[in-house]
Amino acid sequence: MPTSTDNKAVCQSKSLVVWMVSHRRSKVIRVISLKLLPLLAVILAACGGGATTAAPPASAPAISGPAGASGAAKPSAAAVASTPAGGASSALPSGSTAAKAAASGAAARIGFIDALTGPQGALGLIDQQQVELALDEFGSTGGSKIDSVAVDDQADPKLGVTAFHQEVDVNKVPVVLTGYSSPVLAMAPIADDSKTLLFNCWAVSPNLIGAGKYLYNMAPVVTYDAQILADWASKQGFKRLAVTFANNDAGFGTRDAATKAFGDKGIPTVDTESHEVNSKDFTAQITKMKAQNPDVIFVATVTNNDTGLFMRQARDLGVKAQFVSGYQADLTAQAQQIAGDAWEGTVFTNPFALSDHVDQLFKAKYGKASANTTLGQAPYNCANIAAQTISNASKQGNPLTGAGLFKTLNGMQSVKLPDGSSIIFNPDHTVKANEQLKMVKGGKAVVIQTIQP
């Protein structure tokens, strides 16, 4: 049995624990502290328990991991909350989400997992800004104060699982917001096991439907978009479809949705070609497609740069077919430079189009326009829905736990967003939302049709 001398030595280690937690912005300390988490818990318990986890300094950046880190880097081992420094209230269970949120006067806090570093990192940081924007707006217009805590997964499913465990087991959040089909599919079973509400904010693979009881797809899946595009293509008289698609869950799901939707409109598929994400050369795929003489090509890439590069190389190789796509073709400024005039005439759908309301809020808060035209305001919408769910749970007396929020959301048929648009919830945990059909004219994406839910 430990002696008093042993206990004294252990308790003297408490200062080391606090120092490690408070300095977790360091990559080395983040990794060490994660690996030694069980030991640290024992040390704190030996010193009387109830010690509060040190919050990041008020000046700490609200992201985990350095911007521009290599896509092969290890996941961030610590999340950085968008809360000021402060300890948890002693009147609440130590380590609970309510205790951690109360430290900043917040009613609750939500988790956010995205690619904050790696190839998609620059866009991921904009997504995080949108989440913070939505929560700030909600709290400043009469709603509850809600904080967020972000973890980087680089859009990788393995890192996504690690990030999800961190949000649930360490950060103790009742709801997690995220995107990208493969990571969402990897997180869904864990969300069910831990009874954590999981919001898919922008992934569109049809495989996400029914992937988990606690999973809500807050983005219309690509099945709906494919039907819109097939209807348009049929009216234009197109006869032969080819599909280029990413070699991942989103890509395969989009390929299947496109071939079915176009087939239902009497447009057979003459070729499908897969490619790896972040490819640099599509020559082999384009050459095979060209040989089949399609008159319309569904571009089911994942990243903006892939979309722009495929279009550029296809036109350079003499392909004249009409390009159609989902939101991936709503190119950022960088991807537009890659595509050049090959983007002209492209027709695509986007359920996430940035409204004037969100555009003005973003500019006012961050001093510049949102550069992520692809996802538009999807993260903002998701965060607002989470905030409304938390607020409704409080009003109904439901606990601010994953199960409590799940019960609350199941009773909500729709939500109205601050920009005036509505999101309608389907029984299968998918949604109906406004869709825009756009065509690139004169180098600009112009709305040619708005589809109401």
CA–centroid distance for 256 within its chain: 23
d(CA 337, CA 343): 10
Contact, 400 vs 190, CB < 8 A?
no
Average pLDDT over residues 131-145: 94
Q: pLDDT tens for residues 154-210?
A: 999 999 999 999 999 999 999 999 999 999 999 999 999 999 999 999 998 889 999
In the chain, the percentage of residues whose pLDDT exceeds 70 is 76
Longest dimension (CA), the chain: 85
Residue 106: left (phi > 0), alpha (psi -120 to 50), or beta?
A: beta
115 or 3, higher pLDDT:
115
Architecture of domain 222-350+434-451: 3-Layer(aba) Sandwich (3.40)
Angle, CA 419 vertex, CA 431 and CA 439 arms, to 5°: 70
Which residue has better confidence, 59 or 278? 278
C-alpha of 282 from chain center: 27
Lowest mean per-residue pLDDT among 98-102, 184-188, 306-310, 328-332: 98-102
Question: What residue type is assigned to position 69 of the chain?
Answer: A
The confidence band for 249, taking pLDDT boundaries of 50, 70 and 90, is confident
pLDDT at 106: 60
Better-scored residue on pLDDT, 347 or 19:
347
pLDDT at 302: 82
Q: What average pLDDT score do residues 144-157 get?
A: 95
Rounded to the nearest 5°, which phi and psi values hold at 108?
-165, 180
pLDDT, tens digit, for every residue of 418-447? 999 999 999 999 998 888 899 999 999 999
Residue 28: predicted pLDDT:
34
407 HSE (CA, 13 A, CB side)? 11
- Check if the beta carbon of residue 312 is closer than 8 Å to that of residue 342: yes
Quick one: pLDDT at residue 105?
54
Q: pTM of the full predicted structure?
A: 0.72
Interval 368-385: pLDDT, tens: 988 777 788 999 999 999
> Would you say 176 and 194 are in contact if contact means Cβ atoms under 8 Å apart?
no
Dihedral angle, C-alpha 312, 318, 324, 325, nearest 10 °:
-40
Secondary structure of residue 434 in the 3-state scheme: coil
Residue 269's alpha-carbon distances to 7, 234, 266, 290, 295, in angstroms, are 72, 13, 10, 13, 11
Amino acid type, 113: I
CA 3 → CA 7, 9, 15, distances in Å? 6, 10, 20
Distance of alpha carbon 335 from the chain centroid: 20
Closest CA to 160 of 126, 198, 113: 113
Sort 368 into a burial class: Cβ within 10 Å, 0-12 / 13-18 / 19+: exposed
Chain centroid to Cα 348, Å, comes to 21
Q: Say which residue, 149 or 28, is predicted with more confidence.
A: 149
Range from 9-23, 68-82, 112-126, 438-452 carrying the lowest mean pLDDT: 68-82
Q: Calculate the alpha carbon distances from 34 to 24, 30, 38, 44, 174 in Å.
A: 10, 6, 9, 15, 21
pLDDT for position 82: 35
Confidence of residue 245 (pLDDT cuts 50, 70, 90): very high
Cβ proximity of 151 and 166 under 8 Å: yes
- Domain ranges, ordered by start, for the chain: 1-54, 62-82+90-219+357-420, 222-350+434-451
- The whole-number average pLDDT for the span 1-12 is 42
Per-residue model confidence (pLDDT) at position 435: 87
Span between the terminal Cα atoms of the chain, in Å: 67
By the 8 A CB rule, do 319 and 297 touch? yes
Q: So what's the pLDDT on residue 120?
A: 86
Selected from 1.20.140.10, 3.40.50.2300, 2.60.40.650, 3.40.50.11540, the CATH number assigned to the domain covering 62-82+90-219+357-420 reads: 3.40.50.2300
CA distance 197 to 348: 31
Tokens 């430290």 correspond to what residue? 103
Q: 222-350+434-451: same fold as 62-82+90-219+357-420?
A: yes
Dihedral of CA atoms 404, 405, 410, 416 in degrees, nearest 10, equals 150
Position 327 scores a pLDDT of: 87
